[in-house]
Amino acid sequence: MDLDAVTKHSALHPKPNGLILQYGTAGFRTKAEHLDHVMFRMGLLAVLRSKQTKSTIGVMVTASHNPEEDNGVKLVDPLGEMLAPSWEEHATCLANAEEQDVRRVLTDISEKAAVNLQQDAFVVIGRDTRPSSEKLSQSVIEGVTVLGGQFHDYGLLTTPQLHFMVYCRNTSGRYGEATVEGYYQKLSKAFVELTKQAFCSGNEYGSLKVDCANGIGALKLREMEHYFSQGLSVQLFNDGTKGKLNHLCGADFVKSHQKPPQGMEMKSNERCCSFDGDADRIVYYYHDAEGHFHLIDGDKIATLISSFLKELLVEIGESLNIGVVQTAYANGSSTQYLEEVMKVPVYCTKTGVKHLHHKAQEFDIGVYFEANGHGTVLFSKAAETKIKQLAKELEDKKRKAAQILENIIDLFNQAAGDAISDMLVIEAILALKGLTVQQWDALYTDLPNRQLKVKVADRQVISTTDAERQAVTPSGLQEAINDLVKKYKLSRAFVRPSGTEDVVRVYAEADSQESADSLAHEVSLAVFQLAGGVGERPQSGF
């Protein structure tokens, strides 16, 4: 390590005085103007991680669904997963080190993590469409270069595409070719195969309206469109030519406001979907004939997908185990439907993709989705091999089912939740089953729910257990929540400190919207009183 060069270059990326940042659920995230030093230092860290794992490491510059003025950065581990927890700590230390301490922190990390400094390093970099992203990704590259790492700059990519590239490169191309072209071809080939079968059975040709949140999803979907146009026609809205990124549009806006994005022309019963700013989340929706808005969130996506997979497994007569992984935010109706009607086991983890991803790896087929639309399906190597073998050996209907499964495996981005890949899977399933968006929506009815935020002096005074469904501290809070929940029918509520914002989040559901609203409000007041609320007391009324 040429520490003198590090010191020299690091001085060109000074840390703003007093700024302390934490590597959170989705990496570092804050106003773009405060991130230059973090980018440079994450370039350095990516080199160390690459040397330690003897693998290619990814660095993605994005702030996902957050406002255009924000930015962020996260590292992608060898198999496309989120960075290992011990390295999240290293990332936080390095990002917060004072200028004169950067060298020492780098040396400490290398020693603690037993990094072989003689090893070569390779880092791949991607960025979203934010105005600040290009310059910030140059700072990452400078960090990589100063420590002697090799790199490939992919330029504009969706977050899941970067995960895909990392995964491909570390599996010697077995998963796919590490180019955007390779990504388009792999997914489109599987999709076209699947929809061919659907159209043979006389189903309608698909057409879909896509709100791209004025982000990278628009660019990539436009590039990809002609690869899959035999199976689906997409019409893009909020494609970045006019509006601002994530402003009044995108998956996060639609899910949290439960209303359509601006700038989209919706006709009744038309299938529509929204991506978020870096295209790793997707939600569907439609207007019914009476003009009512219906949201189809990550829970209903997981339900559609897992039901379909289960049917195929029954058809081929294989007892591969399938599990669905959710978080506490999953609507109670979805959990009940999956367990009682579909008879698939459901597990709950803490919020944040890495927790769901990890749990999903325990099954032959692990379906994971957050209610906010982030998710995918993981197939174990054994399951994949078995299915591919059956697709050759079985006959007639069984063979067809195995072949469908084979293509579904290829269509899912198994390195990360991916709006484009999920969209194609959903469209293929709807076409194969001949389902309309209304029929899909009618699988079960969501319980009315409400999410609120409460400002407190220190959100870490709230600690939780049981996958965030129970508050352990401050004392008395869980008892208060239990008493409030008892007042309503079909009710449930929980609170947790946000991993991305300085607030406590409150979730409540109940048999009616009024009850859910009122329960959420009462729980907010309890948090305010017992967990050190600051500013105005939470008001009722929405």
Contact between 459 and 504 (Cβ < 8 Å) = yes
CA distances in angstroms from 504 to 110, 303, 355, listed in the order given: 36, 29, 20
Window of 64-72, 114-122, 391-399, 465-473 that interacts with Mg ion by CB under 5 A: 64-72
CA distance 248 to 261: 6
**Catalytic pick among 50, 64, 333, 334:** 64
Q: Smaller CB distance to ligand 16G: residue 470 or 498?
A: 498
Q: Which stretch binds ligand 16G (CB under 6 A): 301-309, 395-403, 458-466, 496-504?
A: 496-504
Q: Which one of ligand 16G, Mg ion, none interacts with residue 278, CB within 5 to 8 A by kind?
A: Mg ion
Total binding residues toward ligand 16G, as defined by CB under 6 A: 14
Residue 348 binding ligand 16G, by CB under 6 A? no
Find the part of the chain contacting ligand 16G (CB under 6 A) among 94-102, 238-246, 479-487, 500-508.
500-508
Q: Which is nearer to Mg ion, 81 or 276 (CB)?
A: 276
Tokens for 29? Answer: 């995230």
Kindly state whether residue 252 participates in binding ligand 16G, applying the rule CB under 6 A: no
Cα–Cα distance measured from residue 382 to residue 68, given in angstroms and rounded to the nearest whole number = 43
Stretch that binds ligand 16G, among 292-300, 482-490, 493-501, 520-528 (CB under 6 A): 493-501
Residue 96 binds to ligand 16G (criterion: CB under 6 A): no
| Nearest distance, CB of residue 68 and Mg ion, angstroms | 14
SS (H, E, C) 294-336: EEECHHHHHHHHHHHHHHHHHHHCCCCCEEEEEECCCCHHHHH
Q: For the sheet containing 56-61, what is the strand order?
A: 28-31, 70-76, 56-61, 122-127, 150-156
For Mg ion, the closer of residues 183 and 363 by Cβ is 183
- 299 touches ligand 16G by CB under 6 A: no
Minimum gap (Å) between residue 534 Cβ and ligand 16G = 18
Stretch that binds ligand 16G, among 302-310, 342-350, 439-447, 494-502 (CB under 6 A): 494-502
Q: Which is nearer to ligand 16G, 499 or 532 (CB)?
A: 499
Q: Does 64 bind Mg ion (CB under 5 A)?
A: yes
Looking at the Cβ atoms of 246 and 372, the one nearer to ligand 16G is 372
Residue 137 known to be catalytic:
no
Q: Tokens representing 250? A: 């995108």
Of 143 and 215, nearer to Mg ion (C-beta) is 215
**CB of 384 within 8 A of CB of 368?**
no
Please report, as residue ranges, which positions from 23 to 52 form the binding site for ligand 16G (by CB under 6 A): 25-26
Q: Using the minimum distance from each CB to ligand 16G, give the nearer residue, 252 or 446.
A: 252
Q: How far apart are CA 192 and CA 176, in angstroms?
A: 17
Q: Which of residues 363-392 bind ligand 16G (CB under 6 A)?
A: 370, 372, 374
As measured in angstroms, the least distance from the Cβ of 335 to ligand 16G is: 17
- Does 449 bind ligand 16G (CB under 6 A)? Our answer is no
Q: Is 492 in the site for ligand 16G (CB under 6 A)?
A: no
Per the DSSP assignment, residues forming a β-bridge with 368 are: 325, 376
Beta-bridge mates of residue 152? 124
- H/E run at residue 222: helix 216-228
Q: Identify the CA nearest to 129 among candidates 276, 235, 30.
A: 276
Kind of pairing, strands 272-275 and 293-296?
unpaired
- For residue 316 the two structure tokens come to 């081929």
505 is an interface residue for ligand 16G by CB under 6 A: yes
CA distance 453 to 524: 8
Q: Which of 148, 332, 499, 532 binds ligand 16G (CB under 6 A)?
A: 499
Distance of alpha carbon 182 from alpha carbon 173, whole angstroms:
10
Measured N-to-C along each axis, helices 36-53 and 85-96 cross at an angle, to the nearest 10 degrees, of: 140
Preceding peptide of 497 cis, ω within 30°: no
Residues 278-297 that bind Mg ion (CB under 5 A): 278, 280
**Contact by Cβ (8 Å): 152, 124:** yes
Q: Which of 206, 250, 323, 352 binds ligand 16G (CB under 6 A)?
A: 352
Backbone angles phi, psi at 534, to 5 degrees: -125, 155
Q: How far is the CB of 371 from ligand 16G (least distance, A)?
A: 8
Smallest gap from residue 500 Cβ to ligand 16G (A):
4
8 A C-beta contact, residue 457 and residue 532: yes
Q: For the packed helices 419-433 and 396-411, what is the interaxial angle rounded to 10 degrees?
A: 160
Catalytic residues: 64
Site residues for Mg ion per CB under 5 A: 64, 276, 278, 280
Binding site for ligand 16G (CB under 6 A): 25-26, 64, 351-353, 370, 372, 374, 498-501, 505
